[in-house]
Amino acid sequence: MQHKSKHNYRLLYFFISILIVFSIPVYAQENPGNTPEKHFLWAVQSGKNTVYLLGSIHILKKDAYPLPDAIEKVYGCCSKIVFETNLDGMNDPASQNKMTKLGSYTGGQTLSKNISTQTYELLKQRMADANVPLERLETFRPWFVALAITALEIQRLGYDPELGIDRYFYKKAQKDGKEMIFLETNEQQLNLMAHMNKHQQEMFLKETLKELEIIEEMASDMVKAWETGNADKLNLITRTGFDEHPDIYNRFFIQRNKNWIPQIEKLMKQDGDVLVIIGAGHLVGEQSLIDLLGKKGYQLQQR
């Protein structure tokens, strides 16, 4: 992996793994002749049950399926399935309208008035390459524009959020009548983006524009790490360069991990095994869910 690519991975992975509807594409299927020893799956046992933590990839292609048997078996043994948020809620008209409202300027403000000339020129070039009139984006805030152009690029590459791991198990749990639990509300997830300050929003857009150029290369490395359960490699990819943006990393990862720990501990005290499905970035590195639970004395085993 080139040094430049490593450096540029940080915000694109981070950005498109925040919201359920957009994330890194991977090929998750196993090669029968090269079965990985580990999966992106951890188990923690309590006196009452076993709670499993599965790193999710939210957008896939059809050839990502079937998923490994080990993951399917864990789903089968669990009576409760936990997701970051209600996936149907994120797609309903009310949530979509709220996202558009939060992402739009009012009072005569425009995108070009709120970002630097340098960032605006980067956006202008990206939109020209995509044959999208820049005028269509003038009324939207930087974070919303970043979402939109990321979605366009992901779709261009042929990936589908309906094939994501969390969406797959969400539909499966609905069909099987399993109890579903959500760690966050749809509003909380939207506010993660909408409540960034002006500087953070421009930085987000600027870095996204730069990093979309390497999305295919990045996906390949992410795929290998996820397929083989290589948490160290995934952590290296996602954390490289984040020292430059500690406030952003803290906002989207560390604070959310800390908020989720009490909820996971509560699940450990209930009857019946539980499968918790969250973005894979929440399971790697310092102050990840794995790290925080370990520091509280829990023994976690990677499956």
d(CA 203, CA 290): 29
The domain ranges of the chain are: 3-94+159-302
Tokens for 67? 């998923």
Pick from 9-18, 103-112, 200-209, 227-236 the range whose average pLDDT is largest.
103-112
Count of residues for the chain?
303
Least confident of 144-148, 211-215, 268-272, 299-303: 211-215
Tell me the sheet residues that pair with 180: 81
Whether 39 and 303 have beta carbons less than 8 Å apart is answered as yes
- Which residue type, as a one-letter code, is found at position 123? L
* Mean pLDDT over each residue of the chain, to the nearest integer: 84
In terms of Cα–Cα distance, which of 170, 183, 184, 179 is closest to 270? 179
- Which residue type, as a one-letter code, is found at position 217? E
Please determine, for residue 20, whether its predicted confidence score (pLDDT) is greater than 50: no
Determine whether 269 is exposed, middle or buried from the number of CB atoms within 10 Å of its CB (0-12, 13-18, 19+).
exposed
Whether 53 and 279 have beta carbons less than 8 Å apart is answered as no
> What 8-state DSSP symbol labels residue 290?
H
DSSP collapsed to 3 states, 37-81: CCCCEEEEECCCCEEEEEEECCEECHHHCCCCHHHHHHHHHCCEE
Please give the pLDDT value at position 224: 76
Q: How confident is the model at residue 8 (pLDDT cuts 50, 70, 90)?
A: very low
Tell me the sheet residues that pair with 45: 50
Q: What H or E segment, with its residue span, contains residue 182? A: strand 179-182
Ramachandran area for residue 158 (φ above 0: left; ψ -120 to 50: alpha; else beta):
left
Enter the pTM of the model: 0.85
d(CA 59, CA 146): 17
Tokens for 207? 């870095």
Helices (H) and strands (E) in the chain, counts: 14, 8
Q: Which residue has the higher pLDDT, 184 or 238?
A: 184
